[in-house]
């Protein structure tokens, strides 16, 4: 039995806490709001974010961050990507070299264009804990129900990746290892941009052909950027590349797709985000993707058109037309 802290009592944090508990680990699930953590403790269910999924006694919910972290070697960060630096600063005093920080957030920091693992390393530069990333096609709604799921764990240290693999691996939750942190994290963050585009296309009334084209060319765009940044191109053919991209662009559980559908129907972005009620990571990722394209001198036409729709009030039909009528290209570059 291992002792694990899962920071973030949303749908993903709750699902991961359940996976760990089923393995026999003792888990503290931390959430910011005491009223909600007390409700989880009372009902053994996160009715706000993962209704219908019962949690075993080995999952203890708390709003006390110090209590959640006490005596835990493994610390899972399952909060929105925009809050990763803040939470790292809050827990810095309780981090030591023997801790393993496992990031489950998918995003790029807008101010610095840094990946999540880079932010964690920045904040704990003197503490030097081990850092791992988990990613892949893994909607919390399905993980919570025990539906078979496969993810990937990445770390600069092979031993740590394998340690985290053992921590999570089960008949319902298969875990692969990959040392390519750049590829894992770029694939994880930027697939949300393409999912917004897939949703927008559906909202306009486009069909499966258009969605397939967006997914395929979107993957090319993500891989092109990732390789320019130093990633292994094969990573984008794996779970954190095409796997996560397909599920996020097609699933009913995808917040990014749902947001895109509403935007495609002409609903303003601010209203859409209010209606979704949870963080839509693709919005910030679109901004970051365009900035990264400029940084690495990489063409990002899909990302740029989605940016224009989200932030420059470009008509979605006009964006679609401009994508279709770009200069002629060879498919394989």
Beta-strand relationship, 130-135 and 173-178? unpaired
Q: What is the model's pLDDT at position 332? A: 86
Decide if 191 is catalytic: yes
Q: What does the pLDDT look like over 247-302, one tens digit per residue?
A: 999 999 999 999 999 999 999 999 999 988 888 999 999 999 999 999 999 999 99
Share the mean pLDDT of the chain: 96
Q: 333 pLDDT exceeds 80? A: no
Give the residue-averaged pLDDT of 95-121.
97
Q: 315 pLDDT exceeds 90? A: yes
Q: What does the pLDDT look like over 86-99, one tens digit per residue?
A: 999 999 999 999 99
Give the residue-averaged pLDDT of 104-121.
97
Q: By three-state DSSP, how is residue 84 classified? A: helix
- What are the backbone dihedrals phi and psi of residue 177, each rounded to the nearest 5 degrees, phi first? -115, 155
Q: What is the model's pLDDT at position 31? A: 97
Across 139-243, the runs of DSSP E, i.e. the strands, are 149-155, 173-178
Q: What does the pLDDT look like over 13-45, one tens digit per residue?
A: 999 999 999 999 999 999 999 999 999 999 999
Q: What does the pLDDT look like over 129-160, one tens digit per residue?
A: 999 999 999 999 999 999 999 999 999 999 99
Alpha-carbon gap, residue 2 to 4, rounded angstroms? 6
The CA–CA distances, whole Å, from 163 to 10, 182, 241, 274 equal 25, 20, 23, 39
In DSSP terms, 77 is beta-bridged to 7, 103
Alpha-carbon gap, residue 161 to 304, rounded angstroms? 35
Beta-strand relationship, 74-77 and 173-178? unpaired
**Alpha-helical runs (H) found in 23-137:** 34-43, 65-69, 84-91, 116-123
In this structure, what token pair is assigned to residue 128? 């030097």
Q: 178 pLDDT exceeds 90? A: yes
Secondary structure (DSSP) of 198-234: HHHHHHHT--HHHHHHHHHHHHHHHHHHHHHHT--GG
Give the residue-averaged pLDDT of 224-250.
97
Tracing tokens 């601010």 back to the chain, one arrives at 270
Q: What is the model's pLDDT at position 239? A: 97
**74 neighbors 98 (Cβ within 8 angstroms):** no
Q: By three-state DSSP, how is residue 148 classified? A: coil
**117 neighbors 103 (Cβ within 8 angstroms):** yes
**16 neighbors 48 (Cβ within 8 angstroms):** no
Domains detected in the chain: 3-179 (3.40.50.720), 182-324 (1.10.1040.10)
**Non-local CB neighbours of 213 within 8 Å, separated by 6+ positions:** none
Among candidate residues 99, 191, 211, 257, the one labeled active-site is 191
End-to-end, the C-alpha distance of the chain in Å comes to: 49
In DSSP terms, 75 is beta-bridged to 5, 101
Q: What is the model's pLDDT at position 279? A: 85
Helix (H) or strand (E) holding 21: helix 11-22
Give the residue-averaged pLDDT of 313-323.
96
């Amino acid at each position: 039995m291992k002792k694990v802290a899962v920071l973030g009592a949303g749908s993903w944090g709750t699902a991961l806490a359940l996976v760990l508990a089923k393995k026999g680990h003792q888990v503290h699930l931390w959430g910011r709001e005491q009223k909600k953590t007390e409700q989880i403790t009372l009902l053994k269910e996160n009715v706000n974010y993962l209704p219908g999924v019962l949690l075993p006694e080995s999952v203890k919910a708390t709003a006390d961050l110090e209590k959640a972290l006490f005596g835990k070697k493994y610390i899972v960060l399952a909060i929105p990507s925009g809050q990763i630096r803040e939470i790292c600063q809050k827990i810095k005093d309780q981090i030591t070299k023997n801790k393993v920080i496992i990031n489950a957030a998918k995003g790029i920091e807008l101010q610095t264009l840094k990946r999540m693992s880079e932010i964690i390393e920045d904040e704990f530069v003197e503490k030097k804990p081990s850092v791992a990333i988990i990613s892949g096609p893994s909607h919390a709604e399905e993980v919570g129900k025990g539906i078979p799921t496969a993810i990937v764990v990445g770390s600069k240290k092979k031993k740590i990746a394998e340690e985290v693999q053992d921590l999570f691996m089960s008949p319902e939750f298969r875990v692969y290892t990959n040392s390519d942190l750049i590829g894992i994290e770029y694939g994880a963050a930027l697939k949300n941009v393409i999912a917004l585009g897939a949703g927008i296309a559906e909202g306009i009334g486009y069909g499966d052909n258009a969605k397939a084209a967006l997914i395929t060319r979107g993957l090319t765009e993500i891989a092109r950027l990732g390789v320019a940044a130093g990633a292994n191109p094969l990573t984008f053919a794996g779970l954190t590349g095409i796997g996560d991209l397909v599920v996020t662009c097609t699933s009913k559980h995808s917040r990014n797709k749902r947001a895109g559908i509403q935007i495609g129907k002409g609903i303003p972005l601010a209203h859409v985000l209010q209606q979704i009620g949870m963080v839509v990571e693709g919005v910030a990722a679109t901004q970051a993707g365009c900035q990264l394209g400029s940084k690495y001198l990489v063409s990002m036409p899909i990302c740029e058109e989605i940016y224009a729709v989200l932030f420059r009030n470009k008509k979605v039909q006009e964006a679609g037309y401009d994508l279709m009528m770009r200069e002629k290209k060879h498919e394989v570059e």
